[in-house]
Structure 1
Amino acid sequence: MYEQVSHSLLNAILDDLKPEIRRQDLRHFYTRLGANFYAIYSLFFRLYGHRPDFKRQMLGLVETMAEGYINRSPELEALDIAREKDHNWFLSQQWVGMALYTNGFARNLRDLADKTEYFQELGVNMIHVMPILKCPIGKSDGGYAVSDFRQIDDRVGDLEDLQHLASELRQRQILLVLDIVMNHTSDEHTWARKAVAGDPIYQDYYYMYESRDIPDLFERSMPEVFPESSPGNFTWNEETQRWVMTVFHDYQWDLNYSNPEVFIEMLGVVLFWANNGVDIMRLDAVAFLWKEIGTDCQNERNAHLLLQLMKDCCQATAPGVLFIAEAIVAPVEVIKYFGEDAISAKECEIAYNATFMALLWDAVATQNARLLTRGLRSLPNKLDRATWLNYLRCHDDIGFGFDDQDVLAVGYQPRSHRRFLTDFFCGEFEGSPSRGLPFMRNEVTGDARICGSLASLAGLEKAMQEENPVAINIAISRILMLHSLIFSFGGIPLLYNGDALGLLNDYSYQQDPAKVSDNRWVHRPSIDWQHAERRHQSGTVENRLFTALRRMIAIRKSLDAFADFNNRELLDTGNEHLLCFLRSYQQRPSEQVLVVANFHSTPQALPVDVLRRRGLDFTAPLIDVFTGRRPHQIEENILLQSYQFYWLKQV
């Protein structure tokens, strides 16, 4: 859109660019900048237009974008152009992700690059390498307390090693995902150290106050993220004699995005990693970016404006790069992180489907899909050019943050039901096969989150300890059924390191002084590669899981109906133990896949008549594309064994 005031300013900015920038060939950059500039100007003005230095800051913003473009390699620029032409490329069913810690999967980044054949063997082609930027020893929050945004932590390698990994993955057509911690820095970051030394420029990079007056105003409406280990939202800094906002931990200082220099700095960080071969940026803690007295300082309107501005600026410089919103918030809020445009995502193209994950675990515990189905019906439709990350387990804890109204609607009391879920997954409920640990338990309400590996939560740890072959078979069926749903639901499925091998809880963290206070390390296991060879030994648990998941991934990639174009319809089967939905392919509506999963420990029936009433014609024979066999059918019912799933197509 052409708008005279903004483009007049743009012309002035281009005239004032540094000579070394003006001398470059910026043809594609100028085209994209011109197309996006009215939006960039409008957003930047809304956030910072009240400042007397607004024009100077706008110049700094454009120079940062231009320098990012100049430093972009011809190979990456060609990739940008290809992805611009195929702008829905990430909605394909071809993508399957895995999240991992470098030193949990390998020794370091070089060793990780040498193990990329494992991903191809399984069929994974998107790798989220968990935080690898420089951070302190000990006070690092698992790598999310960054002390230098442009350096690799020397415990896993250096920048050259990351560039080598990115190149290796690109040759194998595997996407690289990297964390950018947007909300805070370590208190050992250069900016924080300069602030401590008394530099007012860098003190303005954070929220720092000499008295409790303003912190007390914030605290009136701000909840506590870690009430047990890090109560409150401010920490007294003895050296500066100031209170510093520390929403997460006392060593993580929140960045002040009301200062445009902070935004420009972080844009530079994003473009730096884009130019080092990162395909997708996982933007950490985006719900917390904007702080406003009198609010809970989460999901603020200006936080969304910041992300829209970041996206527009990145599209001008590196349009092939995608953003993931790490916003573990209510469905009505998380959907906003895609943006507000009905056609194209304006903020982040990808968001975590934490609600789906929590609802799946609820269905495991209750052995019915009532709340799961209800919660999915309440999940707002995503934008056309956006997609979910569907996962069962990640590096973090599991919280049961589904909507209380949905909980009430299916006949549960929210407080007692969440207490039941905690007890169930901690193995404290009679008959529970799970072996999880409570995280941040609130002794007043009994509420807690859950830690534990996927296999241990699904009952495999208990079954193997008891050497119970029947229970092992049930646990494996439960694990595969859960994966069948994240692979078929619509979006990018994300495995976690070790899940394809059935790795159990790792209790060794209890002997590590740096980890013992955080039991999330119980589900962050390291792969023993000698033991992992069991995936090639027929009949082992590792082989059964790995082989089945490899087959599931291959079949998923062959089914166009599993691409993510809002082409999913939930079906009511009349059987509360079943989850059932239909996936269709837009270009060939007749190509449909019926997905059905049984969450109960006993066989359940899917009445064919229910499908006919929906208008589905299943007169032709059905085949389960996963097994290649016809479903077990008794008269007018399709029968599912305990924890069985079907991907059904007409022959």
Structure 2
Amino acid sequence: MKKIKERLSFIYENQNIDSILQRIEERIAITKQMSLKQRKQNWDEKDVVLITYGDQFQEPDRPTLETFKKMFDKHLADKFEIVHLLPFYPYTSDDGFSVVDYKKVNPLLGDWKEIDHLSQSARIMFDDVCNHISAKSEWFQEYLNGNPEYQDFFIEMDPATDLSAVTRPRALPLLTKFTLANGEEKYIWTTFSEDQIDLNFSNPNVLYSMIDVLLFYLEQGAEYIRLDAIGFMWKEIGTTCIHHEKTHEIVKLFRDVADEAAKGTVIITETNVPHKDNIAYFGNGSDEAHMVYQFPLPPLVLNAIHKGDASALSKWASDLRPTEGETTFFNFLASHDGIGLNPIRGIIPEEEILAMVEDLKKEGALVNYKKNPDGSESPYEINVTYLDALNKRTDDDDLRVKRFLAAHSILLTLQGVPAVYIQSILGSRNDYNGVSKTGMNRSINRQKYEVIEIEEELTNPESLRSKIFRELTKLIQIRKSEPLFHPNSTMAVMNLGKEIFAFDRMNSKHESLFVVHNITNEPVDCRLNGTFLNIISGETVVINNSFTLAPYQFVWLKPII
């Protein structure tokens, strides 16, 4: 508890922390007394994550989590060790990220017993939406009603305050006007939307309440905790209000609490920001996040295949620092959000980013914009399924599959833990009907399915969904059986020309595995020499100085000595 006390002293400086420290100690003791599921310590090559909504699959008169478990057990359980279950709590907007009650399950999805049943098939990642809460939540409604218990739970701000330095992730007002029960008007800090009310962590009671939520999630079976929008937690006027030193200290405190209560719990920070800011959440390598999202990866892979030039991707990958036993990267290509562009600013020239955005818009992608300090707007997110992002509308399905698998080979073999979005494993196309229904660009990649319809497509061997599902799950199985794909195995990028993205995965025994991708639509000669086992095909390959890779072909080659 000494570290927890030191962190509280740093966060609250001259305030008396004895009371909150005692409350935290007592709350941790309650969790430790419970018989929690034994947690795996760290991670290995078998750990592949599925990202999904709890209502992804639907049947009449059945809780959707029950239906999801049925589909998961039938089609996915042998491929994915971990399920990232996107927010399954009651909510009012943003597909779950405006949480009404952190401790309840959305009744349409089921109840905590459904979460428990699913945790018997996979380890579960919960979202901890700790920066903000729904405007319809009891906490905020009690604040509006004048309940003194919630008086400082939210951030009141004079609208005349100079907030120009504050980092804005959206082209929306930072403050929202609310009318209290007594008729008084207050302007409240709302980073993301008028329905997402930022919590005031300068109030120790807010911090305690969110530690209580964190421990409750551990008690309900969460083995991975994703800290959503974590970078914005601490506000200080005159600063950017992102990545504040006290935000980092709170993440470290969450890590300490989880370690104390249930060692083996994995803390993941979600910070869609430039790479140097993102990896800062590793702390010293043993005191902050276990994993950070690899946000540059989706746009960099897309850019490489879009241009047929892997130079920027190779340069970025070669600069990645090795991770050790207590940290690794959380790799992904697609998620419930769009493809973020801010993480590649400074890696890819701005004019090249804008050109890619315009090209994708012509092929049906949608775009969300952010407001800049000078009042201008810039694209911050491309809204599109990853399958459609990689391809043109006029491409045939064979070409779609080749590009898609090449991209996912990169995902599955790169240093770190790979996560595959449910729409990707299902080979989903853009859902414009979903956008029409919700008015949200992000709905283009959040389609939900009736079980009978999706199973019909998956079992049709000629359908695009079926082809992608078969081939991608095959790659996942191979990855899981290869120890050289351990998330912390060393990675060294190989310079084989701009048309090729290649690297060597190595372990402490000096064993190697060469992963080579042709990211172009033309055959490419690749300089390599030796005898190898192609672990995808199972064939022995003898290469004398060079071999030819077909368009978008990739190989996983293990040297035979």
- Calculate the TM-score normalised by the size of structure 1: 0.80
Q: Match for residue 272 of structure 2? A: 328
Which residue, out of 222, 225, 234, partners 2:166? Answer: 222
Which amino acid in structure 2 is aligned with residue 198 of structure 1? Answer: G
Q: Match for residue 649 of structure 1? A: 558
Q: Match for residue 347 of structure 1? A: 288
Which residue, out of 358, 363, 370, partners 2:304? Answer: 363
Which residue, out of 618, 622, 629, partners 2:532? Answer: 622
2:27 paired with 1:64: yes
Which residue, out of 413, 424, 434, partners 1:488? Answer: 413
Q: How much does 1:287 deviate?
A: 0.6
- Calculate the TM-score normalised by the size of structure 2: 0.93
The whole-number CA distance in structure 1 between the counterparts of 2:503 and 2:12 is 46
8 Å Cα contact 1:94-1:556 kept in structure 2: yes
Q: Match for residue 3 of structure 2? A: 39
8 Å Cα contact 2:155-2:189 kept in structure 1: yes
The whole-number CA distance in structure 1 between the counterparts of 2:352 and 2:537 is 36
Q: Deviations over 1:514-557 (max 9, x none)?
A: x11x1110111123433434434434323322221122111111
Q: How much does 1:315 deviate?
A: 1.2
User: CA 1:446–1:313 in structure 2 vs 1: closer, same or farther (change >3 Å)?
Assistant: closer
Q: Match for residue 159 of structure 2? A: 212
Q: Match for residue 190 of structure 2? A: 246
Q: How much does 1:225 deviate?
A: 2.0
Q: Deviations over 1:322-341 (max 9, x none)?
A: 11111111111111212214
Which amino acid in structure 2 is aligned with residue 602 of structure 1? Answer: E
Q: Match for residue 471 of structure 2? A: 548
SS in 1 for 2:339: coil
Q: Match for residue 148 of structure 2? A: 200
8 Å Cα contact 1:332-1:379 kept in structure 2: no
Q: Match for residue 437 of structure 1? A: 366
Which amino acid in structure 2 is aligned with residue 39 of structure 1? Answer: K
Aligned pairs, how many?
549
8 Å Cα contact 1:105-1:497 kept in structure 2: no
8 Å Cα contact 2:306-2:390 kept in structure 1: no
Which aligned pairs between 1:564-643 and structure 2 lie closer than 5 A? 564-573=487-496, 575-586=497-508, 588-589=509-510, 591-608=511-528, 618-619=529-530, 621-630=531-540, 636-643=545-552
The answer to which structure, 1 or 2, has the higher relative contact order (CA under 8 A, 6+ apart) is 2
Q: What stretches of structure 2 of length at least 5 have no aligned partner?
A: none
Which amino acid in structure 2 is aligned with residue 38 of structure 1? Answer: K
Which aligned pairs between 1:246-285 and structure 2 lie closer than 5 A? 246-285=190-229
The whole-number CA distance in structure 2 between the counterparts of 1:177 and 1:605 is 42
The whole-number CA distance in structure 1 between the counterparts of 2:128 and 2:358 is 35
Q: Deviations over 1:14-65 (max 9, x none)?
A: xxxxxxxxxxxxxxxxxxxxxxx2211111111124114x211211111111
Q: How much does 1:402 deviate?
A: 4.1
Q: How much does 1:160 deviate?
A: 2.7
The whole-number CA distance in structure 2 between the counterparts of 1:571 and 1:237 is 57
| Greater strand content | 2
Which aligned pairs between 1:81-160 and structure 2 lie closer than 5 A? 83=40, 87-88=41-42, 90=43, 92-107=44-59, 108-120=64-76, 123-136=79-92, 140-160=93-113
User: CA 1:400–1:98 in structure 2 vs 1: closer, same or farther (change >3 Å)?
Assistant: same
Which amino acid in structure 2 is aligned with residue 196 of structure 1? Answer: L
User: CA 1:499–1:404 in structure 2 vs 1: closer, same or farther (change >3 Å)?
Assistant: closer
Q: Percent of pairs identical after alignment?
A: 23
Which amino acid in structure 2 is aligned with residue 550 of structure 1? Answer: T
The whole-number CA distance in structure 1 between the counterparts of 2:379 and 2:367 is 9
Which residue, out of 412, 424, 430, partners 2:359? Answer: 424
SS in 2 for 1:116: helix
Q: Match for residue 162 of structure 1? A: 115
8 Å Cα contact 1:506-1:525 kept in structure 2: yes
8 Å Cα contact 2:58-2:450 kept in structure 1: no
Which residue, out of 153, 176, 190, partners 2:138? Answer: 190
Q: How much does 1:121 deviate?
A: 5.7
The whole-number CA distance in structure 2 between the counterparts of 1:152 and 1:539 is 38
User: CA 1:246–1:558 in structure 2 vs 1: closer, same or farther (change >3 Å)?
Assistant: same
The whole-number CA distance in structure 2 between the counterparts of 1:455 and 1:105 is 20
The whole-number CA distance in structure 1 between the counterparts of 2:71 and 2:319 is 41
Larger radius of gyration: 1
Q: Match for residue 21 of structure 1? A: none
SS in 1 for 2:338: coil
| Greater helix content | 1
Q: Match for residue 424 of structure 2? A: 499
2:253 paired with 1:317: no
8 Å Cα contact 2:369-2:378 kept in structure 1: no
Q: Match for residue 180 of structure 1? A: 128
Q: Deviations over 1:120-151 (max 9, x none)?
A: 46611211111111213xxx111111111111
The whole-number CA distance in structure 1 between the counterparts of 2:199 and 2:378 is 33
The whole-number CA distance in structure 2 between the counterparts of 1:324 and 1:567 is 21
Which aligned pairs between 1:282-301 and structure 2 lie closer than 5 A? 282-301=226-245
User: CA 1:599–1:182 in structure 2 vs 1: closer, same or farther (change >3 Å)?
Assistant: same
SS in 2 for 1:156: coil
User: CA 1:421–1:441 in structure 2 vs 1: closer, same or farther (change >3 Å)?
Assistant: farther
Q: What stretches of structure 1 of length at least 5 have no aligned partner?
A: 1-36, 408-413, 429-433, 464-470, 609-617
